[in-house]
Amino acid sequence: MKSYLAAAVQLNSVPDLQKNLTQAEDLIELAVRKGAELVTLPENFSFLGDEAAKIAKAEEIHQASEQFIKTMAQRYQVTLLGGGYPTPAQTGKVYTTALLVAPNGQELSRYEKAHLFDVNLPDGNTYQESSNILAGKNLPSVYPSKDLGNLGISICYDVRFPELYRHLSQMGAQVLMVPAAFTAYTGKDHWQILLQARAVENTCYVVAPAQTGFHNARRQSHGHALIVDPWGVILADAGEEPGLAIAEINPSRLEQVRLQMPSLKHRVFL
């Protein structure tokens, strides 16, 4: 593993596939111009706002999203995470899939979101992902990149389930990717602290691309794409507008923190 720059892209995706992909490419290009070698896109990067429309167009969104991720990785010669898009299932529902692709366009890792966001929030918004989405049945894997380190994938609501990240750290993860579309209501209180907790308890870098702003008349995302170091320090914050959080992933810093705080070696209950 070498030192390199990682970018967490922040988007304001809407129910317009081509508009979203154009916005995403602009920010991928910007990240690469700034020197990023790992670029991550948030959950629902290609389509967000109207669930009925997403399900109706699921196959089109799926095919366009996967082709986009592979094309962008090759075009910009970057390792690219497409942080969440619908993959149709035989039941008529979809999985939310994250795909990690190498600069040559080769698929490196794939994960289907395991934890589904079924909540009634005090602001009056109700989210029932399980009505249209199937939960993935497999734990995410860790991809061992010689240059970028051991990369672990999760998606959004997963961040509330520390056992998933403990699995990733036990598998050797050094960089945890958390692409999200966190709601504005929950994000203001929980987003940053959850990401810092996952970084600290696993002594890993966390790269968390995000959605921001309104996606339709009611759905609003928190923004604040973040990169967090293994000590829990916020290295980069994209704020509330579309853009980038970009920061260095440094193996010396990772080693230093793990020597100073070797908590992964002190676990009693496995």
Catalytic (active-site) positions: 43, 113, 156
Residues making up the chain, counted from first to last? 270
Is the alpha carbon torsion for 138, 40, 148, 265 positive or negative? negative
Query: Look-up: residue for tokens 């993860």?
Result: 173
Continuous H helices in 34-101 = 51-56, 58-76
Contacts of 159 (CB under 8 A, 6+ apart): 165, 178, 180, 194, 195, 198
CA distance 28 to 4: 16
Q: Characterize 106-118 residue by residue with b for buried, 16 or more Cβ atoms within 10 angstroms of its Cβ, and e for exposed.
A: eebbbbbbbbbbe
Query: Element (H or E) spanning 23, and its range?
Result: helix 17-33
Closest CA to 152 of 201, 103, 108: 108
Strands (E), 89-177: 94-101, 107-112, 118-120, 126-128, 142-145, 149-153, 175-177
Cα 18–chain centre separation: 21
Q: What's the angle, vertex CA 57, arms to CA 56 and CA 60, rounded to 5?
A: 155
